[in-house]
Every structure is written in C-alpha cells, then in structure tokens.
Structure 1
Amino acid sequence: MEKNLDENRQAALKRASQLKDTIDDYLQVKSKIKTGIKMKNEIENNKKLIMSKLKATEDNWNDWKWQLDNRITDINDLKELINISDETLEEIKLAEDKYRWAISPYFLSLIEPGDPDCVIKKQALPSSLELQNNGGKLDPMKEELTNPAGTITRRYPDRLIIKLTNICGMFCRHCQRRREIGETDQHHNQKEINKSIEYIKNNKEIRDVLLTGGDPLTLTNEQLEKTLKKLRAIDHVEIIRIGSRMPVSVPQRITDELCDMLEKYHPLYINIQVNHPKELTAEVYQATKRISKAGIPIGNQAVLLKGINDNPHVMKKLNQELLKARVKPYYIFHAKNVKGTKHFQTSVSTGIEIMEKLRGYTSGMAIPTYIINAPEGLGKTPINPIYNISQGKGYIKIRTWEGKVINYPDIL
C-alpha cells in the first residue's frame, strides 16, 4: 500500500512539473506587463500636472460632470497638458478634420508621454493611420437596416438595443459607431426614446434590452432613470443591460447615488470595455467594487486590437486582472471593418491563437468567448479552436487543450 502511495505521489509530482512547464513562458513575462495599479505613481504624477494646468481641485477631479465638461478636444490644450511629441501632434492635426476626438482628463493621465507605443494613446488620440484608404465602411453592421422604431437596433429574436446618446467620456479610435459622433454632443430625443419603448411594449417576445449609445452613463441619474422605470414597467422585459465605457474612461461617474438608483431596477447587468491591463487603475477597481456591491454583475467586452492586446500573454493578464476587479471576461470582439480603423485589425488566426493559450492555461472564469460580428447585421458568431475533430458511431474524436487526441465514448 505504501509503495503504491509513493508511486502515485511521484506520478502526481511529475505531472505537476509538466503543468508548470506549460505556463513558464507566461510566468517569465507576467510581471513585465504594465497594469494601472503598477503604474500608480506615474499616473498620479500625470494627474497632478494636468490638475495644475487646468486649475482643478481634488473635488473637481472626482466630479464626473467636471471630467466630461473638461474633456480635451483641442490640440493646443492637449500640448499644454501633456508632454507629447511634435510627430503625434501633427498626426492629430491631420486626422481631426475628418474624425472628431475627445479624452477625459482622467484618461489622459494614463498616457505615458515617453512611450511612442503607449496603448492608451493609441486608443484615445487620433492617428494619420485613420486617413489611409484601406476600405472599410462607416456602418459595417448596417444598423440603419435593423432600426424598426425610435433608436432601436434589432438583430435577434428576443433582444434589442436602445441607443440613448452619442456622448462618451472619450471617443475610442476603434469605435464601431464613429459615424454617430457627429459635430456636437447630444442625447437622443425623448420622443424617439418613447417610440423605442412603445415598440418593446408591442412586441412581447422582447425579454432583454441593452441600453447603449454613445455611453448611457453620460446621462444624469434622473435622465437614465426615466428610461429604466419605463422599461421595468413592461412585464415581458426580464433583464436590462447597460453597455458603458464610463467606469473605465471616467470612473468618477460610478457614485453611490448612481448605484443606489440602479439597484432599484434589478435584474440589471453592466458590460464595460477594458482592452489592456493599463486601464485597470485603483479608480476603476473602486468603480467596479461599487457596482458589485449594488448586486449588479459586470462583464467585459474587449476588442481585439493590433498593437494593444493581440498577444496571448497580455490578454491572459487582462482577464486575470479583470476577475480581481470583480469583472467577468465576457467577449473578445474581432475588430469590425469600420472605415478609418484598419490599422487596429488583426487576423482571425491571431484571435484563435489567443483562445488556444487561454483554454486550459487559466481558469474558465478568465476565458471569454471570441466573437466575429457577421457583416450586414447578421449577428455574433463564436469562433473557437477546433476541439471536435470527428465523430463516428459510438464515439467522438476530441483534442484536449494540450493537443492530445482521444476517442471519447458517445451514447448511441
């Protein structure tokens, strides 16, 4: 008996050593991947400089309305607030006539001025690459053909989107709705919102409503609650979701007052967008903590972006950090073919490789679904590595996460 136990233990130790070897490459680079928490001192220094130049107090900085009102939208203001290269300024100057831009003072503080490849800068500030004629469409999802009423987009049998605004805390350079940014900020007309709600009332199969934009959390609590109250009064609406980048671009928006209001409209879910661990700062952790304490589950919808997160180690680190922030990795979206965003697009093979390096190599909770949005509004399509190799009478041939191929018995 003792001999068997010793042999089993030795076998287990050997297996454990083999498993450790499979993630040794990640362990070697894990500590080198920058996160918002690790960069706390640099971010704080940037913040102090920006506050000084804007003559802002700590109370100003922590006020989400101040953050929105003081978004940087002018190149002259930008160069006064952050040490940025002449080359970058020239690129912004070239692109801004065609594509509007804006960044909150908070998100600006995350930029590393001395890093030409700063992932925050790439997402937030215009580039001359946006002007390259590489195809793409302003509306690749054909949202204008899936708008049955008001500000609705409907692509699925039992759920739909209501767009409430075109305003965001920052205008992401990879945004799928850059066509709607327009020249000015505006919340959508209440009359159109009411038409959207009336449509939902009259279509009893709609059980799930997603509020999006722009960013719904740029509305005041009172403005947002009007829509939530009307939706919650519809018996067949089972769940309400809010899609928002504000917990990341302006985390000051997540106040106790907002969470107290949202808590009245359960079941309610919030999906955010974090694309790199550098975006996960102490302020974002505080925001997600408040949302979670209100009983609201949070999911993350990352976009696979070239030069930002198209690396298996970075994506794994991102998903592990998200779980620490009480956020479930939900989707990795393959970047859509939006005009002016070609430089962000990766191959589908890159996305599949990332999924290969997640499944089995980290916990299932840290593995989102990789999604391609089929063009022309045909909906989300999951893309996975091939694990189901073939099927025969009484068996299915499968490939494990380690690449071992086995026949698994199938009930006839």
Structure 2
Amino acid sequence: MKPSDLNSQAADLFGNVSQNRSDLYSSFLWTDYKAQLQNRVKGLELEKYFELTPGERIGIADTIRLNVSATPYYISLSDPEDSNCPIRRMILPRESESVFSPEESSDPLHEERLSPVKGLTHMYPDRVLLFTNHECSVYCRHCMRGRKVSDSKERMLTEDLEACFEYIRSHSEIRDVVLSGGDPLNLSDAKIDWILERLEKIEHVKICRLGTRNPVTLPFRITSELCNIIESHNTDRLSIFCNTQFNHAKECTPEAKEAVLKLLKAGVSVGNQCVLLKGINDSGEIMLELHKKLLELRIRAYYMYDPELIPGSRGFRTPLAKGIEIVGYLRGKIAGMGIPSFVNDLPGGGGKITMTPDWYLGFYKPKRMHVFRSALRGTYHLSPEPPDSTMEESYPLLSEEMWERISPNSYGAGEKSDDE
C-alpha cells in the first residue's frame, strides 16, 4: 500500500472517530447526569471514539483489574489520536495492565483484613472507611480498589449498610466516617440522604468525608437537589467535607468549577487527593499547573498519593524519589494551600506516612543550632534551640565537616552568620 493510501485510510478512520464523538455528544441532553451514566461507553465500544493502539486493545480485552467504562463527558476531555493524552491514559488500559507482577496484591493495604463487617475498614482508631457502593462514573485505570469496584458481588445492600452503622454506633471512639466506594455520589439522592441521616444520628460521629471523583468525571451529578440534601445534614452535629481527585489540569473545566462552587455554597470544604502517575503527571511543571488550576477552582491541596501496589500497576508507578522531587519543586512557586502532602499508604495496613524533601539538615550541638536548606533559594539557614530545651538529644546531629562547609554562607535571624 502506498504511503498516500495509508494517510488516506488514517484520515478516514479519524473522520469516523470524530463523527462518532459528535453523534454521541448530541444524542442526549448533555447536562443530564443520568443520561451521561446511561450512555457510558464500555470496553471495546471505545474503539468508536479512539484510534486504539494494539496495546490498548490488549489492555481492554485482558485487564485483570476492573471494568473499562467512561462517561461521554470525560471522553470529551481526551484526545482520540494521541495515545499519551493524560485523560486517555486514565480511561483506556494498556497491555501492562494485564500483567500481575510479583510485588503486587489485590489488597495491598490489607483493607479486607481490617474489615470487621462487610464494607467497613477500621484502620485508624478514630475513623472508618465505609464502602457504600461498587459503581463509578468512570473506572479509572489506576483505581486502588479494583478488587471491589465494578464487581456486582460487592454490591452493598441496605442490610449491609445497617450492619456498618451498628458497628459505628457500638464504637464510641469513631468520630470520622469516610464514605467511599465506588463513588458514593453515584447513589440516588434518596440513598445519600438516608446514609447521611443515619450518620448524623450517631452522637459520637462528628465528621463525614465524601470521597468522590464525580466533580472530575461527571460534574453534572453535583445538582442543586443533591447539595440541598448534603447541606441539610451539614449541621452543628455533623461536619461534611469532600475529597475529590483531579490528576491533571485538563480536568479543571468550567463544568468542574460549577460543581465545586455548588458544594462550597452548601458549606462543604473541598480538598484534592491526586495520584502521582507515570506519564500522566509525574513532573513538577505538570503538578504546578494542576495545583494552580485547583486554587482557581477554590480547591485546596490535600494529598499526592504514591500509587498502590495493585495488580497490573507497573505502568503507573514512579520512583519514590519522584514524588519527593515534585514537592520540592512546588515549594516557593505556589501558596502552601496549593501544595499537597506526598504520602505513601504503607503496604500491609500500616497507614499513611508523609514523605518530604530534606529541608532539615540536622542539629549542630556545639553551637546549639539547627541547620535548614531553603526550598525557595537553596541557601542555608540557622535557627537556635531554646536555651531551656531538654530535647537536644532527639535531633539528628550535623557533622563538624558539614558545619564548616555550610556555616560561613548561612543566614540567621539577623545578618549573615560569621560563625562566631
């Protein structure tokens, strides 16, 4: 076949994809979230809306994680031609998703081991995670609960939820309940109202957090009716927060901002928990752009997650040093409320720990000085330990050699240090 014929064939294929997208987008009321869900595109049907690569076809056919499905809205944010489009990477599995590597586990955080009743994980003393449902608007390829999400066997019946509420009622140390899934906002308004009412009536539960990606993948779900329900339970007895997950600036659309503003008007604070994903957002520049956009959407940064060791996840994972590098890059370039904490949710149920750059270099005991490196300028700075301190033995010590090298060019509260 001549190169010109190949080019013509490719043009015809893209023309079909483009027309298919146009037909899909115009086939229903675009802002109707129920119609968006009814028109989700599943599995190999996605080939009508993307020029699939051979690896993507294998990924769709052989994924070992969870269903493949996306709303028309989220598809509209993606590039049908560019296989490296960040939104596309979160919609379409690649061949690597079909490989279960030795270090991976379907439940790396041991949530099932820490589940006293079906659908409830009690890892931290004062808080629990309540798995409300198994459905999402989009089945993101990096989802860490692929063992449960999109699996109809994991459906939470009313009696299952009642058992969870009974457990919470019987454990007075629990004051914080995270509603997750699936996506809790994929439940009906009536079911969400019922769940929040149950929680509000438990005297020792003071905080409810909604873990939802719908502001990103289906912002039309955040209706005035839903927000009225949430606001009715957001009272002096129960404080409701929302944590969502924007991973790339392309997701920060006017529709997303409108959804977030509705939540804010209902008195719900919105935070973001992004996931560090190889080839999608694993650079300081991309993360900076994302978090600048998030502040424009009035969303505060919360976490940046190191990806979990879930089946088929090698294609998404980055070196641990990459996340530390990104946090260091962000510091000084954006306000602190736009900088996420880089966390590793420890395998085996160890909980979250925060990973940070080495801004604190140590304590120089002869001078009783703490030595820091500036994130903003890279310069060295000194701060004395209080004279009445009894905690000097608890600090990592700075060596004499390091002190001699750093102190002549370091800064204190007054003038530049002269190492008196």
Both structures adopt the same fold (TM-score exceeding 0.5): yes
Report the equivalent of 1:406: 381
Indicate the residue corresponding to 1:292 in structure 2: 264
Q: What aligned pairs does 1:365-404 form with structure 2 within 5 A after superposition?
A: 365-393=337-365, 394-401=368-375, 402-404=377-379
Q: Distance in 2 between matches of 1:183 and 1:237?
A: 29
Partner of 1:251: 219
- 2:27 corresponds in structure 1 to 56
Determine which of 166, 172, 194 is the counterpart of 1:198: 166
Of 39, 64, 68 in structure 1, the residue corresponding to residue 37 of structure 2 is 68
2:54 to 87, 94, 117: 87
1:290: how far off? 1.0
In 2, Cα distance between the equivalents of 1:93 and 1:247?
25
Q: Tell me the CA shift for residue 71 of structure 1.
A: 1.2
3-state SS in 1 of match to 2:348: helix
Contact 2:60 2:68 in 1 (8 A): no
2:64–2:311 CA contact under 8 A, matched in 1: no
Shift of 1:203: 1.0
Q: Quote the offset at 1:170 in angstroms.
A: 0.7
C-alpha distance in 2 between matches for 1:176 and 1:303: 10
Q: Is the contact made by 1:167 and 1:185 (CA closer than 8 Å) also made in structure 2? A: no
1:361 Cα deviation from its structure 2 partner: 2.2
Work out whether residues 111 and 121 of structure 1, in 8 Å CA contact, stay in contact via their aligned partners in 2. Answer: yes
1:111 and 2:78 equivalent? Answer: yes
Aligned positions of 1:10-409 closer than 5 A: 50=21, 52-53=23-24, 56-57=27-28, 59=29, 61-75=30-44, 77-80=45-48, 82-87=49-54, 90-96=57-63, 99-135=66-102, 136-184=104-152, 187-266=155-234, 267-393=239-365, 394-401=368-375, 402-409=377-384
Question: Distance in 1 between the 2:265 and 2:128 partners?
Answer: 27
- Judged with a 3 Å threshold, the aligned counterparts in structure 2 of structure 1 residues 243 and 249 are, in CA distance, closer, same or farther, namely same
Q: Which amino acid aligns with 1:154?
A: H
Amino acid at match of 2:143: C
Report the Cα offset of residue 114 of structure 1: 1.8
* Corresponding residue SS for 1:316: helix
Deviation at 1:134, TM superposition (A): 2.7
| Structure 1 residue 86 displacement after superposition | 5.0
> What CA RMSD, in Å, does the superposition of the two structures yield over aligned residues?
1.9
Q: Which has the higher helix share?
A: 1
Bigger Cα displacement from structure 2, 357-366 vs 342-351? 357-366
- Mean Cα deviation higher: 323-332 or 386-395: 386-395
Q: C-alpha displacement at 1:143, in angstroms?
A: 0.9
* Partner residue, 1:24: none
Separation (CA, whole Å) in 2 of partners of 1:268 and 1:98: 31
Q: What letter corresponds to residue 235 of structure 1 in structure 2?
A: E
The aligned length equals: 363
Query: How far off its partner does 1:98 sit?
Result: 6.4
Give the 3 Å change call, closer, same or farther, for CA 86–355 of structure 1 in structure 2: closer
Aligned partners of 1:140, 1:235: CA distance in 2, in Å?
Answer: 33
Q: Deviations over 1:76-103 (max 9, x none)?
A: x3233x1413535533443247642111
- Tell me how far apart the structure 2 counterparts of residues 242 and 134 of structure 1 sit (CA, whole Å): 32
Q: Which amino acid is 2:78 matched to?
A: I
- CA 1:331–1:111 in 2, change beyond 3 Å: closer, same or farther? same
Letter aligned with residue 152 of structure 1: L
Q: CA deviation at 1:55?
A: 6.0
- Percent identical across equivalent pairs? 34
Normalising by structure 2, we get a TM-score of 0.82
